[in-house]
Structure 1
Amino acid sequence: MSLTARISGTRVRLRLTLLYSVLFLLSGAVLLAITYVLVTQGGSSVGMSTFSSSPSGDQSISNIILGNGGPGSPPLTGSERRLVEAAQQQAARQHAEFGHQLLVKSGIALAIMSVISAALGWLVAGRVLRPVRTMTDSIQLISARNVHERLAFTGPGDELKALADTVDGLLGRLETALDSHKRFVANAAHELRTPLTVEHALLEEAMLDPDATVDSYRARFEDLVVVSEQQAQLLESLLVLATSERGLDRLESVDLSELAGSVLGASRPRACEQDVAVVTRIRPARVTGDPALVERLVANLVDNAMSYNVPDGWVEVATGTADGGCFLSVTNTGPPVPPEMVDRLLNPFQRLARTADDGHHGLGLSIVQSIAVSHSADLSVRARPEGGLAIRVDFPAEKSPAISG
């Protein structure tokens, strides 16, 4: 444990000790005050009961001291009255001395017990904080290399056990995130290595060709432009993915039908070129979100549906409202997709057929999922038995924008 952690733990233990001691001191003082009041207020009645309980042979003496004459007895003489007054004064002094002694001795006892309670409080505070120190030591030993380790706290199901279980859950989520980050970085490096290798090969071929002409150089440069565009698309996709996972910077009211119409309008030439029919069932559907990210979500779904299609296939795009929210669905024909591959397609750099020059890097659906999560939307992907996918995104009800960029 570091010095700072030890000092902090000692401060907490000292505060708990002081709290225990103060509580004991206050409760002891209250108990002492109650005892003192009860004793001092009940002293005279105790003395009178003592005198009244004298034996029958001394009944006359007690009557004289108490100033009580018997029935028909003569009044007290002067000497007897002075005797009674002296006895009463003596009793009052004894009562006051008794109260003083009680107060002093009780105060001494309270002071001694306060010291003992402070020592016991220090021990009890250490006992209470021992599991916290154990968890702190274990957490400080966990790093990126051994994030798989857990506290594994054993004990009764109290607040400390709940805290340890919460930390274990946090470590589990952190381990999952780190593993995902490592896979993402490795896949990104692999995807970037391919166009760089092709680019290097084209440049090397042009340099080593002794019979190179202007036309051959122009052809190499055209190939380099294509490779450069692929790199730019990959970097842009990575940037969008990182942005969507970071969260929303602004919220606006967005109409899914307008975005879908705009994206489909830009995709018409491509659909005609690939001989893919486009079916639309677009109805107004307003959601709250980042317009750029929502548009990227629609564009990725439409691009994915057209890219992985078959000749004479079709793509159906629908928007609307349902169950108090809005939805966007994109369904397409295409090659059969194994059901076990559906969930994998939502991970970065995953695609059915890995082709180096197809212009796709397997980021489309992972970006869609990330954008859907950032907008609290539900994404469902289903493989159609006839081939292709049926994808639906259900957005929550429109809310008043609270974030502005």
Structure 2
Amino acid sequence: MKLRTRLTAWYAGVFLIAGVALIGLNYWLLASFAPVDAGIAVSRAIPTTELGAVYPGYADFSAVPAGELPTDTLVVSGAEAKSEVMSTVLWGSIIALLVAAVFAVWLGWVVAGRVLEPLHSITSTAHRLEAERLDQRIELDGPPDELKELADTFDGMLDRLASSFDSQKRFVANASHELRTPLAVQRTLIEVAVAAPDATEDMRRLGAHLLDTNERSEKLIDGLLLLARSDRGLAARELVWLDEVVEDEVESCRALALEKKVTFEVRTRRYLVDGDPVLLAQLVGNLLRNALLYNQPGGTVTVELDQELIVSNTGPTVPAQAVPGLFEPFRRLRDRTGTAGSGLGLSIVQSVARAHQGSAKARPNGGGGLVVQVNLPETGVRQAS
């Protein structure tokens, strides 16, 4: 049951309790009122104060001897009159209470909606928030009450979180950028040392190993820079044909596919996206390289672009419970640690998709491997066929 319904029920319940108490008090006061014992009949004859002393409502009436009454006169005892009056008052009060209760329920529903309206603003803002989008604020207007204090506290928390996330992203980007220069210097020194005429065979083997390690480090740093860039969102946008990006990336991966003895199956249609062409190329390239690296000889990589971009491969079996962790940085399956990947591929895919107001998800492939689905908002512009 929603809070608004519960508040309405509380309002109506309190009203009914107060109404029943009021009816009970009136009924008790009416029951304690004692009428005259003898039966009487009245007429608007001569005013008297005697009857009005007992029944104030009959002050303008006078008592008439029983012998002077018409033959069709009905004489009612005081107890019967009291019972009739009490019954009429009781049922009239109950009917009035029920009508007022219906009005109280409607009014309680309206008032509860007005009271809870700021909470709806807080909830909708919380739903729009993500780790990469902390720019939303409630900014509730109104008197300084408890709800205003809650909204201001929530906004203050978001300010602190946004500052913390921005600081973390700047640190990753700056650290990655600063590390690129010494790695480039190291690679140059190693290449010069290995190419020297007096370099021994052991030195050349050591140099090759160091160059391989250096290349892994450079790929890792490039991945961190790209991840930090996509996490900050898009500074500028332009129209990009995603199908052309897919075709270009497939061609750039042909050599790796031949090396891994893997074939491509590509089915695309014209698909226009408003975004960053470099980031979109990285997204598609990471998907294709992951599908090639974690495949098996003679396997296939299927690329489909229709309502969304789907890349699937025929690699080893992937446990379903391990799939969500693949989108976390540096998380790989145990049997993938021997590959040349840095563990950032799917993290970058997800980050770039979010930067384009899209999403990325994965599931195990039926015959082994992984199926990755990337949903990117398509623009309304179409090219003439």
Using structure 2 for the length normalisation, give the TM-score. Answer: 0.51
Cross-structure match for 1:214: 200
| In 1: Cα distance, 2:323 partner to 2:310 partner | 16
Could you list the structure 1 runs, at least 4 aligned residues long, displaced by more than 4 angstroms after superposition.
Answer: 168-175, 177-181, 354-357
Say whether residues 1:160 and 2:149 are aligned partners.
yes
| In 1: Cα distance, 2:228 partner to 2:149 partner | 36
CA deviations on 1:142-168 (whole Å, 9 max, x unpaired) are xxxxxxxxxxxxx97532233224445
Q: How does 1:170-185 map to 2 (within 5 A)?
A: 177=165
Q: Give the secondary structure class of the aligned counterpart of 1:362.
A: coil
Cross-structure match for 1:372: 353
Cross-structure match for 1:253: 239
Cross-structure match for 2:276: 290
8 Å Cα contact 1:342/1:383 also seen in 2: yes
Cross-structure match for 1:331: 312
* AA aligned opposite 1:271: A
Unaligned segments of structure 2, at least 5 residues: 1-143
Cross-structure match for 2:298: 312
User: Between Structure 1 and Structure 2, how many residues are aligned?
Assistant: 225
Q: Of 219, 226, 237, which aligns to 1:233?
A: 219
Cross-structure match for 1:10: none
1:178 shift after superposition? 9.3
| In 2: Cα distance, 1:223 partner to 1:274 partner | 22
Cross-structure match for 1:345: 326
Q: Which has the larger radius of gyration?
A: 1
Unaligned segments of structure 1, at least 5 residues: 1-154, 207-211, 401-405
8 Å Cα contact 1:245/1:371 also seen in 2: yes
| In 1: Cα distance, 2:235 partner to 2:257 partner | 34
| In 2: Cα distance, 1:380 partner to 1:227 partner | 31
8 Å Cα contact 1:256/1:328 also seen in 2: no
Q: Give the secondary structure class of the aligned counterpart of 2:329.
A: coil
| In 2: Cα distance, 1:250 partner to 1:384 partner | 36
Using structure 1 for the length normalisation, give the TM-score. Answer: 0.48
Cα 1:385/1:354, change in 2 over 3 Å: closer
1:273 shift after superposition? 2.3
Structure with more of its chain in helix, by fraction: 1
Cross-structure match for 2:229: 243
| In 1: Cα distance, 2:229 partner to 2:349 partner | 12
CA deviations on 1:30-67 (whole Å, 9 max, x unpaired) are xxxxxxxxxxxxxxxxxxxxxxxxxxxxxxxxxxxxxx
1:229 shift after superposition? 1.5
1:277 shift after superposition? 2.1
8 Å Cα contact 1:289/1:375 also seen in 2: yes
* AA aligned opposite 2:277: P
| In 2: Cα distance, 1:167 partner to 1:240 partner | 30
Cα 1:379/1:213, change in 2 over 3 Å: closer
Cross-structure match for 2:261: 275
Which structure carries more relative contact order (alpha carbon 8 Å, separation 6+)?
1
CA deviations on 1:271-304 (whole Å, 9 max, x unpaired) are 2222212111111111011000000000000001
Q: How does 1:3-402 map to 2 (within 5 A)?
A: 157-168=146-157, 177=165, 214-320=200-306, 322=307, 327-353=308-334, 358-398=339-379
CA deviations on 1:385-404 (whole Å, 9 max, x unpaired) are 3221111111113279xxxx
CA deviations on 1:181-234 (whole Å, 9 max, x unpaired) are 7xx89xx9xxx9xxx9xx9xxx9xx9xxxxx96222222222222222212111
* AA aligned opposite 2:235: D
Q: Give the secondary structure class of the aligned counterpart of 1:158.
A: helix
Q: Give the secondary structure class of the aligned counterpart of 2:152.
A: helix
**What CA RMSD, in Å, does the superposition of the two structures yield over aligned residues?**
3.7
Cα 1:237/1:380, change in 2 over 3 Å: same
8 Å Cα contact 1:379/1:394 also seen in 2: yes
8 Å Cα contact 1:288/1:399 also seen in 2: no
CA deviations on 1:215-266 (whole Å, 9 max, x unpaired) are 2222222222222221211111111111111111221111111111111112
Q: Percent identity over the alignment?
A: 34
